[in-house]
Amino acid sequence: MYQIVDSFKSYLSVLGYSSGTQSMLPACIRDFLAYGQYSSIGEIQPVDISKFYEWLHERPLKRGEGALSEMMISHYVYALKVFFSWQLETGAITHNPVSVLKFKRPVCNHRKPLTVAEIQALFTAAVTCREHAMLHLFYSCGLRRSEAVRLQLSDVHFMPRLLYVRSGKGDRRRVIPLTVRIAVSLEQYILQERGRARYTGTAFMLNSKGRAMRGNSYVLLLKSLLRKAGMRKDIGPHHLRHSIATHLLQSGMSIEYVRDFLGHKCLESTQIYARPGSHQLQGL
């Protein structure tokens, strides 16, 4: 049965899904198959999927306390829809058990952007070059967490002041111009902190142990900075990206520019950051 999951992953790759989606959707299908312990795909009925859907609302998290978010459950639903549509197309099944079901639309948990004053407080609290570099990558440059993880030394050019995102969401590339202040801050990190680490790799950012920064490392670094700034907020790196997008739009920047800056494919994705306000973007 699990060979089917490997084939499903190959199918997603051929269709051009991002590497993250190629991992996430098959993982959702593995959980579904493990839950039902089916001997064949053909035996799966709509009632089986309904039971799994109900179980997802009760299933505890694999790490930590709490239950799955509505958005995560919607990912499972999407995985099932894509999987069974693929099985129907290949002739492996004669009916699609998902097609007759209706699922609750998830309530989106919109991130509330930080204010300009809160962003300034974070920059003020930042002491190390690594903390400043982290803030600039996510706020000043608007990177996604996955983009920061993949950022290489060769992607940042200090003389022309450009940062290259080689593989963004959907494998889209973009170039982000850097202000003098951002370029100087990133260069100081390279010269004063990163250069002292015994690391032979090419990752741009390193953690406190001198290894390439991973996604969780960025989360922990930001939480530490929030504590130093006296800000009791449960936020992650993407909140910084959300904040710069909102601040740019509120300062009068065109939505087309912000779309390109963020690496969005369409304007609809950028419009969620457009919030009414008269705040002016200040020099950060």
Question: Catalytic positions, please?
Answer: 144, 169, 238, 241, 264, 273
Q: Are 45 and 97 in contact (CB under 8 A)?
A: yes
Q: What is the CA radius of gyration of the chain?
A: 22
Q: Is 163 helix (H, G, I), strand (E, B) or coil?
A: strand
Distance CA 62, CA 34 (A): 15
Q: Which two tokens stand for residue 111?
A: 């991130």
Q: Are 279 and 116 in contact (CB under 8 A)?
A: yes
Task: Work out the widest C-alpha separation in the chain, in whole angstroms.
Answer: 63
Return the closest-CA partner of residue 28 out of 45, 47, 54, 9. 9
Which residues neighbour 179 within 8 Å (Cβ) at sequence distance 6 or greater? 140, 161
Q: Is 176 helix (H, G, I), strand (E, B) or coil?
A: strand
